[in-house]
Amino acid sequence: MNMRQFFAVTLSLIGSNLAHAADTLTVFSGRSDKFVKPVIEHFTQETGIQVQLHSGKSTGLLNKLRTEGKRTQADLFLSNDAGTLQKGSDLGLFAILPDSALEPIPSNYAAKDKTWVGLSARARVLVVNSKSKSAKAVQSVFDLAKPEFKNKLAITNSTNESYIAGATVYMLAAGKKRTQAWLEGMKSNVDGKVFDKHSKIVKAVASGKKSIGLVNHYYVYRHLAKHPKDPVSVLIPDQGKDGMGVAWNVAGIAISKHSKKKQLAQKLVEYLVSEQGQQQFAEENREYPTRKGVAASAEVPAAGSYKVADIPMYQLGTQRNATIDLLEAVGMP
């Protein structure tokens, strides 16, 4: 026995290789367990296929998938951010999905090369304090750069996934120059004080400490479910004939290129794009199902009742580094 074999044997005694049952799917999930488990349980009930969730942060899991290469145990990759999904496609980590998984979903919400499909959408909206007249008069996200919101504006720090995705949409819809001016205006308005959590933004706006904030829509409804009397409401920006529309971002799923259970994995994707699966996937977090004809939770404004920025979701990935460069060039906190 040479040295290397010896080490291999001893070390594998320390770490028991967890046996993986043939009919268990492993999902690298960048989405909260709380929102994934209910739909997974339904899937297992219907098909008898067990699903193991390996949760974490989307970007971290994608790094893991990339480094592991063909050794990966992941069969599927689930993320809350189209940008991260597209990054995975660009790195060549995903397999091509069957048409049965892609057909039900508008192509705007899927990868161009069919490697991932969007499952639920979140809208980048404004949360306003109902007592603030100036906040309620806002029409566009670009108004957040106005000096009247000095110290009254609440945004997250610039490493936030949703924030980067939103800024990417604005870059593509309104141009780099305008986005840069917007970031600079906001930078001076927040004066270095940004939030680490969206929920804290809603809270600060509800308490009147700030009058307006930029968040994903469900954070506002989550807050209102707990504190129905708080003076906060959702304002949908950039509407009207000349408005660019609201920035959307999708959560989606992909099949790992090195999965040995692609057939089973396809079944899960097919279930998630089915009407039933769509409802269950989006409901718990009050998101918009991407499949046409499946309604979102009754609390949120119906999809189609407002204008959405016309940007294919895969561009959130291809343009991601350009956005980060801009954020850094401006020096957003």
Q: Report the interface residues with another protein, using CB under 8 A.
A: 4, 7-8, 11-12, 14-18, 20, 26, 32-34, 52-57, 59-60, 62-64, 66-69, 71, 73-74, 87, 91, 157, 159, 193-194, 196-200, 203, 207, 209, 219, 321, 324, 328, 333
- Maximal CA-CA distance, the chain: 79
Closest distance of CB 63 from another protein, Å: 6
Closer CB to another protein, 108 or 184, in the complex: 184
Closer CB to another protein, 76 or 105, in the complex: 76
Handedness of CA 223, 228, 232, 237 (dihedral sign): positive
Closest distance of CB 287 from another protein, Å: 14
Closer CB to another protein, 100 or 207, in the complex: 207
Distances in Å between the Cα of 281 and the Cα atoms of 2, 160, 182, 313 are 52, 23, 34, 19
- Whether the Cβ atoms of residue 155 and residue 195 lie closer than 8 Å to each other: yes
Closer CB to another protein, 139 or 207, in the complex: 207
Closer CB to another protein, 132 or 158, in the complex: 158
Give the span between the Cα atoms of 306 and 85, in whole angstroms: 26
Closest distance of CB 100 from another protein, Å: 27
Closest distance of CB 64 from another protein, Å: 6
Closer CB to another protein, 213 or 245, in the complex: 213
Token representation of residue 246: 């609201």
Closest distance of CB 196 from another protein, Å: 6
CA atoms within 13 A on the CB side of 123: 31
Under 8 Å CB-to-CB from 33, ≥6 apart: which residues?
53, 55
Distances in Å between the Cα of 226 and the Cα atoms of 207, 212, 221, 280, 288 are 14, 20, 9, 22, 21
Cα distance from N-terminal residue to C-terminal residue, the chain:
57
Closest distance of CB 117 from another protein, Å: 22
